[in-house]
Amino acid sequence: MNKKTRVAVFVSGSGTNLQAIIDANIPNVEIVVVVSNNPNAYAIERAKRHNIPVEVIDHRNYSSREEFEREIIKKLEPYRVDLIVLAGFMRILSPFFVRAYKNRIMNIHPALLPAFPGVNAVRQALSYGVKYTGCTVHFVDEGVDTGPIILQSVVPVYDDDTEEKLLERIHKEEHRIYPEAIRLFAEGKLHIEGRRVFIRD
Amino acid sequence: MNKKTRVAVFVSGSGTNLQAIIDANIPNVEIVVVVSNNPNAYAIERAKRHNIPVEVIDHRNYSSREEFEREIIKKLEPYRVDLIVLAGFMRILSPFFVRAYKNRIMNIHPALLPAFPGVNAVRQALSYGVKYTGCTVHFVDEGVDTGPIILQSVVPVYDDDTEEKLLERIHKEEHRIYPEAIRLFAEGKLHIEGRRVFIRD
């Protein structure tokens, strides 16, 4: 029997990407813990409904980012995590944390990186006037939304789009490519060379 | 009879986009002049073959950008140009020139702007590791590749791509969307609001 890939999903909010990953039932992947910095995140309910252990680590209880992150690392230890998946996790991870899980942290961003990094990516895209945007799954490096790209998906921007309509179109693609990226990781198919990620058997 | 839209195409090199625009035979569009800053540009041969007047204005004969551009404006005058189309024109136009033809200069860029502006856009995209890139037709404003976007087209980047293979895939799309953007301009369907371009009847 193959060893399952043990995944921790980090959340702060409603957890729709968490739900998509749960629903994808990825072979040989087990979500072993959900970590939330927000004790009121709806994602916690989703985890409980699926009997996934939850660790709430409220950043407001820690005097520094490093203290907060040391606590996360400590809490993660017994779960022997192979991969951390950021799913709407609203805290920036420091280089200290990123180095501890080098090439084992994924994030999803609602734009075709390197376009529109940072917050309000959908609003940024809409007001810039691009005709296509999308979403990007990438490994997390020490910058903000700068790490090696694993998968992207493209969606059109229509003349009569609102931020809400466009976001909905992007979310649909996120819920498709995030589980796909995790599957590729679990199957050992992702190979990082410099800043490029190649998919190989 | 509708008045034809009078187009000047600016070139510096081989002129494959010029050829695509000629071949598209856009209704109600007449290429009234080809301007080259390079006396040896192969694009000049293409223009002559189609009996399009050519003005060679060699930037090396002028002591400043402004002097060079004043000469272009003077040479263009008798052609009564409605639209300037940059097709591999390798000189940056100053704010002075851009203001003289405000919202009447188009450029095409081999990337999905705002990603990878400036030179070597295809190489930039490849080494960044994006999974999709493409091309962008935009109005020229006073920045480099920053003007309002008219049309974009997306192409995939494959793991085994070379710069040449990827460039070829992008060029194919350029030759499709550049004539399309000129047609929309000629039909009066492009409406600029802020930095967004809407297509309306």
Report in angstroms the alpha-carbon separations of B22 from A115, A172, B33, B103, B139: 33, 41, 12, 22, 20
Q: How many CA atoms lie within 13 A of A115 on its CB side?
A: 33
**Rounded-to-integer distance, Cα A40 and Cα A27, Å:** 30
Residues 6+ apart with CB under 8 A from A115: A125, A130, A133, B112, B114, B115
Q: What sign for the dihedral angle of Cα B91, B134, B138, A164? A: negative
Share of chain B above pLDDT 70, in %: 99
What pLDDT was estimated at residue A201? 79
Asked if the C-beta of B195 comes within 8 angstroms of chain A's C-beta atoms, the answer is yes
Cβ neighbours around B48 below 10 Å, total: 12
| Residue B60, Cβ density class (10 Å: 0-12 exposed, 13-18 middle, ≥19 buried) | exposed
User: Would you say residue B2 has pLDDT above 80?
Assistant: no
Contact flag A131-B113 (C-beta cutoff 8 Å) = no
Minimal C-alpha gap between B167 and chain A (Å): 18
**Which sequence positions of B are flagged as catalytic?**
109
Interface test with B, best of A124, A131, A177 (most B CBs within 10 A): A131
Q: What's this model's pTM, rounded to 2 decimal places?
A: 0.94
- CA angle, B154 then B159 then B160, to 5°: 110
Q: Which chain B residue has the Cα nearest residue A128?
A: B195
What pLDDT was estimated at residue A1? 53
Question: Nearest CA to A156 among A145, A172, A144?
Answer: A172
| Phi, psi (deg, nearest 5) at residue A19 | -60, -45
What pLDDT was estimated at residue B162? 97
Contact flag B149-A129 (C-beta cutoff 8 Å) = yes
Q: Shortest CB distance from B152 goes to which of A131, A159, A199? A: A131
Dump strand ranges (E) for chain A: 5-11, 29-36, 54-56, 83-86, 105-109, 132-139, 149-156, 190-193, 196-199
Minimal C-alpha gap between A197 and chain B (Å): 7
Cβ neighbours around B193 below 10 Å, total: 9
Q: What is the pLDDT averaged over residues B164-171? A: 98
User: Would you say residue B28 has pLDDT above 70?
Assistant: yes
Of these residues, A50, A109, A138, A191, which one is catalytic?
A109
All structural domains of chain A:
1-101 (3.40.50.170), 108-201 (3.40.50.170)
Q: What is the pLDDT averaged over residues B154-163? A: 97
* ipTM here: 0.94
Asked if the C-beta of A196 comes within 8 angstroms of chain B's C-beta atoms, the answer is yes
Blockwise average pLDDT, block size 10, chain A, 201 residues: 89 97 97 98 98 97 95 97 96 94 96 97 98 98 94 98 98 98 97 95 79
Asked if the C-beta of A113 comes within 8 angstroms of chain B's C-beta atoms, the answer is yes
CB B180 within 8 A of CB B153: no
